[in-house]
Structure 1
């Protein structure tokens, strides 16, 4: 288990996660630099990259769950050996800032990765059994089938109807935007684009979607899955922007005119519950029926996208 981004704050966060897996019969191997510190980063970029590469190369490790997101995963990208990663396929699990790794590894190696909770989020006191059980289930069977709705709030919003089957790509909206004009720029043409975000004002969501539009990243998508946008609606900053648009207004403005299926509200992101999904596999979005169906096992499929 590596820490590609932000380190743990209290050692108990790490120990709680280890206990979670061991109580379920699994063995946990912690990366050598797990306790490294460089301010808000879990050590140097080179050191964090070495830890991640060591996890891929270690034949005793069957799956790699990142400690958490936070910030800094994009620092690792120049230091990764993508040929070695491709030769040692295994599930990589993480969300939020780990988006940088999901995008680069999929596009450079063709491997499927898993958008799911890091060790700290999975084992935190507030973590739900839905999040935990979904992660274990997907790691066992590959995640094929319908992505479940949030058990506490199953309401979904269709922003544009239709049905499409395409490779599922994406992650955190901020991190997707950060890939632009880099060697790891996210490839979205013909893809089913998924994104989510947390604690970002609506006007910044507007700005990120505008930039993706200007960069040509939305015009050729096959469909869009908007996950949870926790803390992003207008009420968060209404004192400063009393007449601002709602989050739904902004999403409709950029996504509905694309003319492709668009569904909003599945438990994918920083909400109370997180449904782990494989990225890079074929998935079917039926926005009219409000369903996202994973068509391939993330444990056996390879992404269609590789440089």
Structure 2
């Protein structure tokens, strides 16, 4: 377990996550710098990068799970040895701000990474069984197949019909936009682009999609999967958000004209449930049937530690 972005607030948030894995028979190794604090950052960029590298190079570690997102993962990128990461392939799990790592590692090493809950989200008191069980199943090599719908709200919206199979890439919309004009700029050509976001006004979603379009990142995609956009639409709880354009209006404006399948609403992101998915593998989007099917598990074989053998 490593913390490349924001630290925990209460130490029990860390202990709860450790207890989750140990109750299922797994061993947890906590990186030395996890308890470090520098305001909204979990210590210095050097410490966070060193912890991440040590997790990849330690042969006793089978899975690298991030504590949470927040902010700061992009600080580590210039300090990572991507050749060494490529020589020590193992699943990296995290979401939100961890998008920076997902994009850079996939593009620099070709490794599959996993967009799934961090340690805190996975073990939070309100974490759903689907969030927890799906993560364990995917890391055990059972990630291929249809991505489940959110049992609390299974309704999906098809913004453009069609069917396509392509590599699934993406993550948090803000973080994808932040890669532009950097050495780790997200490459979307021919890919099945996935994005999600949380707690930003609709006009900011508009701005982020506009910038991606201006940068040529929407043109040439094979399809688009929009995850949950929690707290991004106008509501009576958010009266300060301009209400003249809905979130769906904005999504349709930018995505429907692309001429590719577009599906909105799968439990991928900051909603009540997060269904872990591998990034970088082939996936089939059937927007007419409203399904996203992962074609490869992303793992060559389950590791000994993830076979629930009590080690």
TM tier, shorter chain? over 0.9
Match of 1:305 in 2: none
For 1:52 and 1:241, locate their aligned partners in 2 and report how far apart those are by CA, in whole Å.
38
Match of 1:197 in 2: 197
For 1:241 and 1:14, locate their aligned partners in 2 and report how far apart those are by CA, in whole Å.
34
CA-CA distance at 1:239 after TM superposition: 3.3
CA distance 1:241–1:13, change in 2 (3 Å): closer
For 2:224 and 2:242, locate their aligned partners in 1 and report how far apart those are by CA, in whole Å.
29
C-alpha root-mean-square deviation of aligned residues, in Å?
1.1
For 1:257 and 1:237, locate their aligned partners in 2 and report how far apart those are by CA, in whole Å.
32
Residue 211 in structure 1 maps to residue 173 in structure 2: no
CA contact (8 A) 2:233 2:241 kept: no
Match of 1:66 in 2: 66
For 1:242 and 1:146, locate their aligned partners in 2 and report how far apart those are by CA, in whole Å.
36
For 2:241 and 2:196, locate their aligned partners in 1 and report how far apart those are by CA, in whole Å.
22
Given the two structures, how large is their TM-score scaled by the length of structure 2?
Answer: 0.95
What secondary structure does 1:141 align onto? coil
CA distance 1:190–1:57, change in 2 (3 Å): same
For 1:242 and 1:122, locate their aligned partners in 2 and report how far apart those are by CA, in whole Å.
33
Moved over 3 A (4+): 236-243
Q: Across the two proteins, how many residue pairs are aligned to each other? A: 301
CA-CA distance at 1:241 after TM superposition: 4.8
Match of 2:12 in 1: 12
Structure-to-structure mapping, 1:160-199, within 5 angstroms: 160-199=160-199
Structure-to-structure mapping, 1:241-280, within 5 angstroms: 241-280=241-280
Match of 1:231 in 2: 231
Residue 84 in structure 1 maps to residue 78 in structure 2: no
CA-CA distance at 1:297 after TM superposition: 1.5
CA distance 1:241–1:5, change in 2 (3 Å): closer
Match of 1:34 in 2: 34
What secondary structure does 1:205 align onto? helix
CA distance 1:95–1:236, change in 2 (3 Å): farther
Match of 2:21 in 1: 21
For 1:242 and 1:69, locate their aligned partners in 2 and report how far apart those are by CA, in whole Å.
27
Q: Which runs of 5+ in 2 are unaligned?
A: 302-311
What secondary structure does 1:184 align onto? coil
CA contact (8 A) 1:142 1:278 kept: no
CA-CA distance at 1:238 after TM superposition: 6.0
What secondary structure does 1:126 align onto? coil
CA distance 1:59–1:264, change in 2 (3 Å): same
What secondary structure does 1:33 align onto? helix
For 2:38 and 2:11, locate their aligned partners in 1 and report how far apart those are by CA, in whole Å.
16
What secondary structure does 1:284 align onto? strand
For 2:242 and 2:110, locate their aligned partners in 1 and report how far apart those are by CA, in whole Å.
46
CA contact (8 A) 1:159 1:256 kept: yes
For 2:86 and 2:236, locate their aligned partners in 1 and report how far apart those are by CA, in whole Å.
42
CA distance 1:71–1:242, change in 2 (3 Å): closer
For 1:237 and 1:118, locate their aligned partners in 2 and report how far apart those are by CA, in whole Å.
27
What secondary structure does 1:266 align onto? strand
Match of 2:309 in 1: none
Given the two structures, how large is their TM-score scaled by the length of structure 1?
Answer: 0.96
Match of 2:94 in 1: 94
Residue 143 in structure 1 maps to residue 140 in structure 2: no
For 1:42 and 1:141, locate their aligned partners in 2 and report how far apart those are by CA, in whole Å.
31
For 2:102 and 2:278, locate their aligned partners in 1 and report how far apart those are by CA, in whole Å.
10
CA-CA distance at 1:243 after TM superposition: 4.2
Comparing 240-249 and 281-290, the one that deviates more: 240-249
